Amino acid sequence: MFHGLKRLINSSVLMTSLVGVCALAAPEADIDLDSIESEMSRRGEEQANQTAPSETERRSEDNKPVTFQELPKLSNFSDISIIQKKFLPKSYRFQLYGGLNFLTNNPFFDTYGVNARLNFFFTETIGLELNYWRHKVSDRLVTSDLSSKYNITTKTMLSSNGYMGASLLFVPFYGKMTFMDKRIIPYDLYVSVGGGVTETSYIDKAAPSVHLGAGEIFALSKSLAWRWDFSNVQYTAKVPEVSTTGALNDTGKKRTISDLYLGIGVLILFPGATYR
Amino acid sequence: MRSFYGLLTFMAIFSGSISGLAQTMAFPEEELAKESVLPRFDVPNSVRNRNVVVANKFELGGFLGSVSDEAIFNQMQFGLLGTYHFDEFHGVNVSYGMMGSGTGVYAKALKDAVQLDLTNAFGPKSYMLASYQFTGFYGKLSILKNLVVNTHIYGLVGLGTVMYDGLSQMALDFGLGQRFYFSKNLALRFDLKMVRFTGPNPIYKPSGKSQNDSINDLKSGNLKISDFETTNYLLTHITGGLVFLF
C-alpha cells in the first residue's frame, strides 16, 4: 500500500518535471516545426521567382521590425563590406627597428652597416621616424685595380659613412599575405620622405640630404615584425681634389650623389596594443 | 528504479531552481573578455581560394633595369623572361638580358681625367640565367580600401652564362622579387638579383708592361679578350617589367 503510494507520488513528480523541462526548452511548442519548414520552403521558392526589392523599398523596410513570418521575404545581401581587424595596430605606439643596410649602387666601394630607427605613429597611416645609420666602407676590386695599376685614386668618389635624419611615414596600403598557405601574415606597405645629414668619407661630416623610401612591414605578432625597404638618400657634398703629390685638397667643389640602400631588419612595437 | 525516480525528482526541483535564477546578470566591465580567441585546427587551411592561380601556367614578359654597381660599362639592361610554375610555390625562371652598349659615366671620367680609355675593353654583352623560383608568399594588398592588388614574393637561385664577344662565362645568381597584379593575368614584376661570375678585367695592365704602353694598347683596339686577366664580379641587377600569365 505504502509502496504503491510512493510510486504514485514519484509518477506525479515525473510528469511535473517533464512538463517543466518542456516549458523551459520550447515556449512556443504549439508551433509545428514541420509546417514551418514547409512554409519557409514554399515562400523561399516564391521569393526566388520574384525580383529583389528596390533600394528605396529596402531602406523604408529597414526600420520596421521583422516578424517570424516575414523571414522568407528578406532579400539577399548585395553590398556586404567586410573590413577585417588589423593585426598590427600602430596608432600611438612606438616602433624600434634594428637592421642591416646595404648600398646597392656604388661601383667603387662596398658599403654596408647597421641601421637603427625609432618611430611613432599618430594614426594608423601617419608616423614620424628618426633614423641613425652607420656604415663600413671598403674598396671594391675595380678600385684596388685602378689604384695599384694606374695610381688612380677613387677617393674623389664619395661614400657615406653614416646618415642621421627624420622622415614622415605614410602607410596607405594594408594587406595580408600567406606563407605557403600555412600562415597568414598581415603586412603594411609604406612610403617615407624626410631629410637629414650624411657623413661622407671626406671633408663633409654633415652634408644636407633628402631621404625617400618605400618598404614593407610583415607582422610576426602584435609586437614584433620584420621589415625591408629601399631608401634613396641624395646629398650634395664637397669632393676633394687630388694634388700632384697625391694629397687631397678641399677646393670647395661639390657633387650630388644618390645612394640606394636595401635595408632588412626587425622591429619591436611598444607599448602593448589594447585594441585591434 | 528507485534511484531513477530520485534523479527525476532532483531534476524537477533543479529545473524549477534554474527558472527562478533566469535573471539578467551584470558583470564588471574589467571582467569581460577583450580579446577574441580563434580556434586552432589540426589541419589549418588558411587560403581556400586564390584570386591569382599560377600553378601549371607560363609567365612571359619583358624587363628594363640596371646593373647598379657596374663601374666601367653601361649600367642599363633590358631583356625577356619566362617562368613555368609547376604549382603555386615552385617554378623555373629563365631570363635573357642584354647590356647597354659602350662604357658608363665613370669610364668617361677616367678618360677625361687620366686619359685611360676603356672603350675597347671587353664588357659583358648579354646573359642568360635559369633559376629555381620559390614563391612562398601570396597576398592581397588594399590600396586606400578602394582597390585590391594581389601580390607574390619569391626567391630565386640559379645558374647561367654571361656572354662576352667570343667568350661565355658561367654565372651564379640569387635574389628576391615581387609581382603586383593588375588582373589575374597581368602583373608588374620587380627583381633584385646578385649575379656572380668571373670575366675579363677591363683595367688592363699586364705585369711587366708600363702604364703608358698599357694605355696605348687599350687605345689601339688590337687587344684580344684573352689578353685581359680575369677578375671576379658580384653585381647587383635591379629590374622592373611587365609579365603576362597564361
Per DSSP (E only), the strands in chain A are 93-103, 109-121, 126-139, 160-179, 183-200, 207-219, 224-242, 248-270
pLDDT value of position B156: 96
Q: Is A15 on the interface with B (CB under 8 A)?
A: no
Grid cell in block for residue B65 = 633595369
Please say if the pLDDT value at position A173 is more than 90.
Answer: no
**Cβ contact, residue pair B137, A185, below 8 Å:** yes
Q: Is A107 on the interface with B (CB under 8 A)?
A: yes
Q: pTM of the prediction? A: 0.72
Q: B142 with B105: CB under 8 angstroms?
A: no
**Cβ contact, residue pair A175, B138, below 8 Å:** no
Region B91-119: mean pLDDT is 87
Among the ranges given (A39-53, A106-120, B92-106, B206-220), the one the predictor scored with the smallest mean pLDDT: A39-53
Q: pLDDT averaged over chain A?
A: 76
A180: left (phi over 0), alpha (psi -120 to 50) or beta: left
- Best A11, A82, A139, A141 member to test B by mutation, with max B CBs in 10 Å, is A141
User: What are the C-alpha distances in Å from A191 to residues A168, A232, B28?
Assistant: 8, 11, 43
Integer Cα distance of B103 and A142 in angstroms: 14
**Cβ contact, residue pair B151, A175, below 8 Å:** yes
| Residue from the list A146, A172, A176 with its beta carbon closest to the beta carbon of B143 | A172
User: Which residues of A are less than 8 Å from B89 in CB distance?
Assistant: 180
Among the ranges given (A10-14, A95-99, A220-224, A261-265), the one the predictor scored with the smallest mean pLDDT: A10-14
**Cβ contact, residue pair A183, B46, below 8 Å:** yes
Q: How many Å lie between the alpha carbon of B20 and the closest alpha carbon of chain A?
A: 11
User: Which residues of B are less than 8 Å from A262 in CB distance?
Assistant: 192
User: Which residues of B are less than 8 Å from A187 in CB distance?
Assistant: 139
Integer Cα distance of B161 and B169 in angstroms: 5
**Cβ contact, residue pair B69, A106, below 8 Å:** yes
**Cβ contact, residue pair A183, B47, below 8 Å:** no
pLDDT value of position B148: 84
Please say if the pLDDT value at position A9 is more than 70.
Answer: no
Residue of B nearest to A185 (CA): B139
Among the ranges given (A12-16, A161-165, B141-145), the one the predictor scored with the smallest mean pLDDT: A12-16
Q: How many Å lie between the alpha carbon of A192 and the closest alpha carbon of chain B?
A: 16
pLDDT value of position A39: 55
| Residue from the list B137, B236, B238 with its beta carbon closest to the beta carbon of A177 | B137
Fill in the amino acid letter for A104: T
Q: Between the CA atoms of A54, A58, A59 and A62, what dihedral angle is there, to the nearest 10 degrees? A: 180
* SS3 of residue B135 by DSSP: strand
How many C-alpha atoms does A28 have within 13 Å on its Cβ side? Answer: 5
Q: B237 with B193: CB under 8 angstroms?
A: yes
**Cβ contact, residue pair B151, A108, below 8 Å:** no
A192-248 pLDDT per residue, tens: 999 999 998 777 778 899 999 999 999 988 889 999 999 999 998 888 777 666 667
A125-152 pLDDT per residue, tens: 899 999 999 999 998 888 888 888 888 8
- Chain A stretch 243-262, residues whose beta carbon is closer than 8 A to a beta carbon of chain B: 260, 262
Integer Cα distance of B93 and A101 in angstroms: 28
Q: Is B76 on the interface with A (CB under 8 A)?
A: no
Q: Is A84 on the interface with B (CB under 8 A)?
A: no
DSSP string for residues in A83-116? -PPPSS--BTEEEEEEEEEEE-S-SSEEEEEEEE
* SS3 of residue A45 by DSSP: helix
User: Which residues of A are less than 8 Å from B149 in CB distance?
Assistant: 175
Region B104-123: mean pLDDT is 84
Residue of B nearest to A276 (CA): B35
Please say if the pLDDT value at position B99 is more than 70.
Answer: yes
The residues, ordered by sequence, that sit 6+ positions from A147 with a Cβ below 8 Å of its Cβ are A139, A153, A154
pLDDT value of position B106: 84
Q: How confident is the model at residue A91 (pLDDT cuts 50, 70, 90)?
A: confident
Please say if the pLDDT value at position B43 is more than 90.
Answer: no
* Per-residue b or e along A68-82, where b marks 16 or more CB atoms closer than 10 Å to that residue's CB: eeeeeeeeeeeeeee
